[in-house]
Chain A
Amino acid sequence: MTSTTAEDQFYREFIIDHFKNPRNFGRLEDPDITHEEDNPFCGDVIGMDFRIKEGVIDDVKFHGRGCTISQASASLLTERLKGISLEEAKKISKADVIGELGIEISAARIKCALLPLKVLKVGAYGLADEDDGEG
Chain B
Amino acid sequence: MTTNGAPRLDVAEIRKDFPIFETGIAYLDSANTSQRPRQVTGAMMDYFEHFNSNTHRAAYHIAEVATDRYEGTREKVRAFINAASTKEIIYTRGTTEAINLVAYSWGRKNVRSGDLIVLTILDHHSNIVPWQILAAANGAHIEFVDVDDRGELRQDQYRELLEHSPKLVAFGQVSNAIGTINPAREMVAAAKAAGATVLVDGAQGAPHQGVDVRALGCDFYAFSGHKMLGPTGAGILYGRRELLESMDPFQSGGDMIKAVRIEGATYNDLPWKFEAGTQAIAEVIGLGAAVDYLAGLGMDAVRAHEREITEYAYEALSDIEGLTVYGPPPSRRAGVISFSLEGIHPHDLATIADRGQVCLRAGHHCAMPLMTRLGVGATSRASFYVYTQKDEVDRLVSSIKEAQRILK
Contacts and interface: CB of A to CB of B under 8 A. Distances in A.
Interface of A: 1-5, 8, 10-11, 16, 19-20, 41-45, 65-69, 106, 109, 112, 135
Contacts, number: 64
Interface in B361-383: 362-364, 366, 368, 371, 376-378
11 contacts: A1-B395, A11-B406, A16-B407, A42-B345, A42-B346, A44-B378, A65-B377, A67-B347, A68-B407, A109-B347, A135-B125
A118 B358 CA distance: 31
A135 B368 CA distance: 10
Contacts of A43: 364, 368, 371, 376-378
A10 B402 CA distance: 13
A107 B356 CA distance: 18
Contact of A42 (B355, B356, B363): B363
B81 interface: no
B351 interface: yes
A69 B352 CA distance: 13
Given A3-B402, A16-B406, A109 B351 contact: yes
Contacts of B377: 42-45, 65
Closest 9 CB pairs of A and B: A43-B377, A67-B345, A1-B356, A67-B347, A42-B378, A1-B398, A67-B348, A68-B348, A43-B378
Contacts of A44: 345, 377-378
A23 B222 CA distance: 50
Contacts of B371: 43
A106 B376 CA distance: 24
B261 interface: no
Contacts of A45: 377
Interface in B327-369: 345-348, 351-352, 355-356, 358, 362-364, 366, 368
A74 to B, nearest CB: 13
Contact of B366 (A69, A106, A135): A135
B399 interface: yes
Which of A5, A11, A67, A68 is packed against the most chain B CB atoms within 10 Å? A67
Given A43-B377, A44-B377, A65-B377, A5 B348 contact: no
Contact of B347 (A3, A8, A11, A69): A69
Contacts of A5: 402, 405-406
A9 B60 CA distance: 59
B363 A41 contact: yes
Contacts of B345: 42, 44, 65-68
A66 B407 CA distance: 13
B406 A112 contact: no
Contacts of B348: 11, 67-69
A80 to B, nearest CB: 23
Which of A3, A4, A42, A135 is packed against the most chain B CB atoms within 10 Å? A42
A44 B346 CA distance: 11
B246 to A, nearest CB: 33
B209 to A, nearest CB: 26
Contacts of A68: 345, 348, 407
Which of A11, A20, A106 is packed against the most chain B CB atoms within 10 Å? A11
Contacts of B125: 135
